[in-house]
Amino acid sequence: MIPDLEDIFERQARRYERPLDAWAELEKRAFGQAVGLNGYTIVAEAEELARLSEAKVAGPVLDLGTGRGWPGWLIAERAERNLVAIDVPVVGLQHAREHSQHETSLYELRS
Protein backbone atom coordinates (compact mmCIF):
# COMPACT_ATOMS: atom_id res chain seq x y z
CA MET A 1 0.00 0.00 0.00
CA ILE A 2 1.36 3.42 -0.98
CA PRO A 3 1.20 5.94 1.89
CA ASP A 4 -0.82 9.09 1.37
CA LEU A 5 1.47 11.80 -0.03
CA GLU A 6 0.00 14.39 2.30
CA ASP A 7 0.95 12.24 5.29
CA ILE A 8 4.50 11.89 3.96
CA PHE A 9 4.84 15.65 3.47
CA GLU A 10 3.52 16.33 6.98
CA ARG A 11 5.89 13.79 8.54
CA GLN A 12 8.86 15.31 6.71
CA ALA A 13 7.84 18.84 7.73
CA ARG A 14 7.63 17.80 11.41
CA ARG A 15 11.34 16.97 11.34
CA TYR A 16 11.99 20.72 11.26
CA GLU A 17 10.00 21.38 14.44
CA ARG A 18 12.88 20.20 16.61
CA PRO A 19 14.44 23.03 18.67
CA LEU A 20 17.53 24.16 16.77
CA ASP A 21 19.54 25.20 19.84
CA ALA A 22 19.19 21.77 21.47
CA TRP A 23 19.96 20.04 18.18
CA ALA A 24 23.03 22.24 17.65
CA GLU A 25 24.35 21.35 21.11
CA LEU A 26 23.88 17.65 20.37
CA GLU A 27 25.78 18.03 17.08
CA LYS A 28 28.66 19.85 18.80
CA ARG A 29 29.00 17.07 21.36
CA ALA A 30 28.71 14.26 18.82
CA PHE A 31 30.61 15.69 15.86
CA GLY A 32 32.61 18.63 17.20
CA GLN A 33 30.63 21.19 15.22
CA ALA A 34 27.05 22.21 14.51
CA VAL A 35 26.14 22.35 10.84
CA GLY A 36 22.38 21.73 10.87
CA LEU A 37 22.24 17.97 10.58
CA ASN A 38 18.79 16.57 10.06
CA GLY A 39 19.36 13.87 7.49
CA TYR A 40 21.73 11.09 6.72
CA THR A 41 24.97 12.80 5.64
CA ILE A 42 27.58 13.09 8.36
CA VAL A 43 30.27 15.78 8.39
CA ALA A 44 33.05 13.41 7.23
CA GLU A 45 30.97 12.33 4.21
CA ALA A 46 30.17 15.91 3.24
CA GLU A 47 33.85 16.86 3.56
CA GLU A 48 34.80 13.96 1.26
CA LEU A 49 32.12 14.93 -1.29
CA ALA A 50 33.39 18.50 -1.26
CA ARG A 51 36.99 17.36 -1.71
CA LEU A 52 36.11 15.02 -4.59
CA SER A 53 34.00 17.60 -6.39
CA GLU A 54 36.23 20.69 -6.01
CA ALA A 55 37.85 20.44 -9.45
CA LYS A 56 34.80 18.99 -11.20
CA VAL A 57 32.07 21.55 -10.49
CA ALA A 58 31.60 23.66 -13.62
CA GLY A 59 28.25 25.29 -12.84
CA PRO A 60 25.80 25.68 -9.97
CA VAL A 61 25.63 22.89 -7.40
CA LEU A 62 22.25 21.16 -7.41
CA ASP A 63 21.29 19.65 -4.06
CA LEU A 64 18.15 17.51 -4.37
CA GLY A 65 16.56 16.64 -1.05
CA THR A 66 18.64 19.33 0.60
CA GLY A 67 16.97 19.52 4.01
CA ARG A 68 18.71 22.37 5.82
CA GLY A 69 21.24 22.51 3.02
CA TRP A 70 24.59 22.24 4.75
CA PRO A 71 26.28 19.55 2.58
CA GLY A 72 25.33 21.54 -0.52
CA TRP A 73 26.67 24.75 1.06
CA LEU A 74 29.97 23.09 1.76
CA ILE A 75 30.40 21.83 -1.81
CA ALA A 76 29.24 25.10 -3.39
CA GLU A 77 31.45 27.17 -1.12
CA ARG A 78 34.56 25.07 -1.80
CA ALA A 79 33.92 25.17 -5.55
CA GLU A 80 32.99 28.88 -5.41
CA ARG A 81 29.66 28.15 -7.10
CA ASN A 82 26.02 28.98 -6.50
CA LEU A 83 23.80 26.45 -4.78
CA VAL A 84 20.34 25.49 -6.01
CA ALA A 85 18.65 23.62 -3.16
CA ILE A 86 15.42 21.69 -3.75
CA ASP A 87 13.32 19.70 -1.29
CA VAL A 88 9.71 18.72 -0.64
CA PRO A 89 9.17 20.29 2.81
CA VAL A 90 9.46 24.01 2.13
CA VAL A 91 10.03 24.58 5.86
CA GLY A 92 13.43 22.85 5.53
CA LEU A 93 14.41 25.23 2.74
CA GLN A 94 13.26 28.17 4.84
CA HIS A 95 15.56 26.97 7.64
CA ALA A 96 18.37 26.69 5.11
CA ARG A 97 17.79 30.20 3.84
CA GLU A 98 17.54 31.67 7.37
CA HIS A 99 20.73 30.00 8.56
CA SER A 100 22.79 30.47 5.42
CA GLN A 101 25.64 32.90 5.83
CA HIS A 102 27.04 32.13 2.40
CA GLU A 103 26.67 34.90 -0.17
CA THR A 104 27.21 32.39 -2.99
CA SER A 105 24.03 30.47 -2.15
CA LEU A 106 20.97 30.75 -4.35
CA TYR A 107 17.85 29.12 -2.98
CA GLU A 108 15.02 28.16 -5.24
CA LEU A 109 11.97 27.12 -3.23
CA ARG A 110 10.07 24.18 -4.73
CA SER A 111 7.13 22.46 -3.11
pLDDT in tens, 71-100: 888 888 888 888 888 887 777 777 777 766
CATH number at residue 14: 3.40.50.150
Domain that holds residue 15: 5-107
**How many structural domains comprise the chain?**
1
User: What is the per-residue pLDDT across 63-78, written as a single tens digit (0 to 9) for each?
Assistant: 888 877 778 888 888 8
pLDDT at 104 over 50: no
CA pair distance 27, 74, nearest whole angstrom: 17
Q: Whole-model pTM?
A: 0.64
Tell me the per-residue pLDDT of 14-41, one tens digit each, with 9 for 90 and over: 777 766 777 778 777 877 777 666 667 7
The closest alpha carbon to 95, from 68, 56, 73, belongs to 68
